[in-house]
Every structure is written in structure tokens, then in C-alpha cells.
């Protein structure tokens, strides 16, 4: 996912050079990328219990800016998805506000019947939680995630493809099953916390929702 963010920056440069992206739109995207490298605000949570090899956390109800992708999540899909979200925090919203970059970048992967639905989300900072600006892009929506208790553990490196996330989810599932924990099987969250230019001590997490 971090490498995807780096590709996004390169895509913006190419689009601007080719005249495909409007100057005002490009400015908001560049602004968003700059904030991704600066101070970031993490979604609040409480550690309910620290187990051997994983932990249980409670995330209170909060608002997130999300965009949905049905059926596939290729590199091209990811670029399109994140450009929408970066545009929103860069000022592509009803108030023209530039928002602090929230973490994690959280992708909800839900299995519905025989296909998957992906919703990529940015956490909306606390200062804007009560009245977040409305997205001007109709494919970006403000979503209220309810109180959610998850099981998770941290892993490093560049989690750059779906196989990496799926493998971590499978491994964590085995750990939880051995520990006798019940969790939702058709829903998993992929979460990345670091900008692409952080090379060491990177933080990624899979969240599995407690039943």
C-alpha cells in the first residue's frame, strides 16, 4: 500500500505534466501528499486486553471519509481510490478545507455472496468530526463507523499487494482460533500507518472484528 502511495505521487506529476489534471485539482492533491509526510492524527482507541501475540482494541464510533470499489482492487483501482481520498483532504470538499492527514489508511474488505467489496477510508481528524465538510466528489462519502472491537497485531515492511494482507489475515485467524476467540469471517480491515518514504519500523495491521 505504501508503494501505491508513492505511485500516486508520480501519477499526479505525470497528469499535471500532460495537462490532464486541472491546476486547482493538482494543487489540492500535492497539498494532501505534503501533509501525508507531516503530522498525522491516529484514530483513537483503547487497548482492552494484551494477549500473547495479539491484542484486543475498542475503536469508538467515528466518522471516516470513504470510497467504494466493487469486485477488484488492482494497482489501477488503488490509484483511482486514493486520488479521490487525497483530493477530499486536500480541499475537494464543500468548505474548501485542507484536513490533517488521519491514520490509518484503512481498507474495509467485505465478502458479499461470491464477490468482494472494498471501501478505502481516511480517518477524519477530531477537529472536523462534529461537522466534516461534504465531499464534492460523489464517489467519496462520509461514513460513520460504529463502536468496533477488533483483534489485531502489528507487522512491518511494505504491505504492497492483496496477497500480503490476505496472508496476514489468515495467520492472525489461526492465532485467534487457537486462542478460542470468535471473530467475523467475512470482514477484514487492512490498515497502513506510514508514508511511503518511511523505510524502517513500518507499521501495518489487519483488524478482525470480535463477535
- 40 forms beta bridges with 101
Tens of pLDDT along 4-55? 444 444 344 333 333 444 444 434 433 444 445 555 789 999 999 999 999 9
Query: Starting from the edge strand earliest in sequence, which strands make up the sheet with 148-155, in order?
Result: 46-51, 54-59, 148-155, 204-210, 183-192, 105-112, 115-123, 62-70, 140-145
Q: Which range among 68-77, 113-122, 137-146, 187-196 has the greatest average pLDDT? A: 137-146
Mean pLDDT of the chain: 81
pLDDT of 1 reads 47
Confidence of residue 158 (pLDDT cuts 50, 70, 90): confident
Confidence of residue 2 (pLDDT cuts 50, 70, 90): very low
Q: What share of the chain is helix, strand, coil (3-state, %, to 5)?
A: 30, 35, 30
Does the structure show a pLDDT above 50 at 164? yes
Domain CATH code at residue 193:
3.20.80.10
Output 191 or 18, whichever has higher pLDDT: 191
Segments forming the whole domain that contains residue 113: 2-210
Residue % of the chain over a pLDDT of 90: 49
Find all residues with CB under 8 Å of 147, minimum gap 6, and list them.
58, 59, 60, 61
pLDDT of 74 reads 61
Tens of pLDDT along 73-122? 666 666 777 788 888 998 999 999 999 888 888 999 888 777 788 888 99
How many structural domains are present in the chain? 1
Span 132-157, mean pLDDT? 95
Q: What's the whole-model pTM score?
A: 0.80
Q: Which of 77-86, 162-171, 178-187 has the lowest mean pLDDT?
A: 77-86
Q: What is the dihedral of CA 123, 124, 127, 132, to 10 degrees?
A: -170
Amino acid at each position: 500500500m505504501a508503494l501505491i502511495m508513492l505511485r500516486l505521487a508520480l501519477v499526479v506529476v505525470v497528469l499535471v505534466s500532460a495537462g490532464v489534471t486541472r491546476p486547482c485539482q493538482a494543487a489540492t492533491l500535492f497539498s494532501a501528499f505534503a501533509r501525508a509526510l507531516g503530522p498525522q492524527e491516529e484514530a483513537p482507541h483503547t487497548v482492552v486486553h494484551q494477549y500473547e501475540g495479539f491484542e484486543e482494541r475498542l475503536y469508538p464510533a467515528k466518522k471516516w471519509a470513504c470510497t467504494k470499489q466493487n469486485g477488484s482492487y488492482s494497482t489501477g483501482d488503488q490509484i483511482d481510490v486514493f486520488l479521490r481520498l487525497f483530493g477530499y483532504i486536500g480541499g475537494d470538499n464543500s468548505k474548501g478545507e485542507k484536513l490533517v492527514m488521519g491514520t490509518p489508511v484503512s481498507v474495509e474488505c467485505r465478502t458479499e455472496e461470491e464477490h468482494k467489496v472494498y471501501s478505502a477510508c481516511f480517518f477524519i481528524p477530531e477537529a472536523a468530526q462534529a461537522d466534516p465538510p461534504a465531499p464534492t466528489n460523489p464517489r467519496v462519502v462520509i461514513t460513520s463507523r460504529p463502536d468496533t472491537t477488533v483483534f489485531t497485531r502489528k507487522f512491518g515492511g511494505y504491505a504492497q499487494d492483496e496477497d500480503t494482507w490476505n496472508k496476514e489475515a489468515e495467520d492472525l485467524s489461526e492465532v485467534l482460533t487457537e486462542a478460542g476467540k470468535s471473530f467475523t469471517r467475512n470482514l477484514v480491515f487492512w490498515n497502513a500507518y506510514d508514508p511511503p518514504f518511511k523505510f524502517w519500523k513500518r507499521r501495518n495491521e489487519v483488524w478482525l472484528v470480535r463477535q
